[in-house]
A = this chain, B = another copy of it.
Amino acid sequence: MASQPILLDYWPSIFGMRARVALREKGVEFEYKVGDLTNKSPLLLQSNPIHKKIPVLIHNGKPVCESLNVVHYVDEAWPDKNPFFPSDPYGRAHARFWDDFVDKKFSEAQFKIWGKKGEEQEEGKKEFIEAVKILESELGDKPYFGGDSFGYVDSLITFYSWFQAYEKFGNFSIEAKSPKLIAWAKRCMEKESVSKSLSDSEKIVA
């Protein structure tokens, strides 16, 4: 008998939230183990000895590590409901390209906004807005990045929970710079899989 999957997570993690959204999009019940990053659990260290990072999804006793990999795995392990990828090879490659962009460009830029000061922070703001503009152009007039339904690239929604923190630390308005991305984010937030998975922005700012 297949056991219920276990998600090792940390509450404010954008990457942990990705795994939560993916599991809820598939309607998968999971055991949620929220850890403390300053005192990593033996289960986390044993499940991800290479990177020692959350999220880790343990399914049938086997650990899957790295958030995009977890999302990908969830899609393949529960293929019947809400597929995250298009079925054609080009569409799939296109989706992977954009999630890689998010992890490389968007993720690095946002870190500079809240993790750095002065010149580096200003550079981060500039890169962040550039990345947002590129993402808005990719979104175009579609409701979701993949088209009419929520998919792999839309998992970038989890960054939205930190937007308030970026605005506070960076002293700028994201909505003024990127109204289309904000409209998309609000659309995603209407989905229970998303709203239930994203941590409270006020708590993150605090």
Residues of chain A whose beta carbon lies under 8 Å from any beta carbon of chain B? 50, 59-60, 62, 64-66, 69-70, 72-73, 76-77, 89-90, 92-93, 96-97, 100-101, 134
B90 touching A72, Cβ below 8 Å: no
B62 touching A90, Cβ below 8 Å: yes
If A50-B134, A134-B50 touch, whether A77 touches B100 (CB-CB below 8 Å) is no
**Copies held by the complex:** 2
Smallest CB–CB gap between A18 and chain B, Å?
14
A97 touching B76, Cβ below 8 Å: no
B92 touching A76, Cβ below 8 Å: yes
Contact of A90 among B73, B93, B101, B134 (CB under 8 A): B73
B93 touching A69, Cβ below 8 Å: yes
Measured in the bound complex, the distance between the Cα atoms of B166 and A161 in whole Å is 43
Residues in B neighbouring A100, C-beta threshold 8 A: 66, 69
Q: Residue on B with the closest CB to A65?
A: B97
8 A–B contacts from the bound complex (CB under 8 Å): A60-B90, A66-B97, A69-B96, A69-B97, A69-B100, A73-B92, A76-B89, A76-B93
Smallest CB–CB gap between A71 and chain B, Å?
10
B89 touching A73, Cβ below 8 Å: yes
Measured in the bound complex, the distance between the Cα atoms of B47 and A97 in whole Å is 13
- Other than the given A60-B90, A73-B93, 19 more pairs (CB < 8 A) read A50-B134, A59-B90, A62-B90, A64-B90, A64-B93, A66-B96, A66-B97, A66-B100, A69-B93, A69-B97, A69-B100, A70-B93, A72-B93, A73-B90, A73-B92, A76-B89, A76-B92, A77-B89, A77-B90
